[in-house]
Chains A and B, each alone.
Chain A
């Protein structure tokens, strides 16, 4: 069966995110000051797997081997 893995990679809470800060400043310049802005990378990956649980296992493996670096990232996986 085909499944879509929707994988979201975020910096860990409290990790300095200079790019998010730059975007936050730009939003403030538009007149909408905000205290917090979080960015994330999202990947939609279509894979073949026997079932939903197997698809999720593949997603975990992809996150741990490539998509996330555990020093700085957390990840979430949604299987559709």
Chain B
């Protein structure tokens, strides 16, 4: 898999995700400064976590209007895999790659903790190595991670099986008590219509080695690599 991790002013998880993709999972990875644009074609493009432009205006809003995002939207239309993690998810949502928006947590404080997620989709290039309904532990770290979208968009996401992850309890039950940030329907991972874009608030790169306490996030990168090698 030939992949790029895009760095914006304020990205701070770029090295972590590049390390996991390159060193832990063994794929090719370039760190790309956003002003340099996409100079070659990539199988996968990752928008990492951080605080692009200080989250001024709205989280991800300013980065979403940079020229490199036009290249990324074009790459997505051509079938490249796009993974947006945390601030990257906010940037991708602000770019219209998925419906809806991530906004201030229902209890407006920064949350940094492990989160239990139920895997809802196992057909996408990102989630194919998980089992349906599998409960995974992947940490979150955000203040603006509450996912909201108009009811029509939520219904369409559900009907099209485009919800990747929901916050759940240890039994896999999805309820308001375990809805860490107040997202609609506990949703914290969404796929695009073609399933080649995944945006998620939890940080899979922080759950990719035993020493970190969980390897549940590594399956996302391994799924992407397996998909790329097959196609």
Contacts and interface: CB of A to CB of B under 8 A. Distances in A.
B104 interface: yes
A19 B101 contact: no
Prevailing SS type, chain A contact patch: helix
B107 to A, nearest CB: 7
Given A65-B65, A66-B61, A66-B65, A71 B101 contact: yes
Contacts of B106: 16, 18
B94 A69 contact: yes
Interface residues of B, number: 17
A22 interface: yes
Interface in A14-53: 16-19, 21-22
Interface in A48-80: 65-67, 69, 71-72
Interface in B100-146: 100-101, 103-108
B148 interface: yes
| Most chain B CB within a 10 A radius of its CB, from A19, A21, A66, A69 | A69
Interface in B65-117: 65, 94, 100-101, 103-108
A65 to B, nearest CB: 7
B149 A71 contact: yes
11 contacts: A16-B182, A18-B105, A18-B107, A18-B108, A65-B65, A66-B57, A67-B57, A71-B149, A72-B101, A72-B103, A72-B148
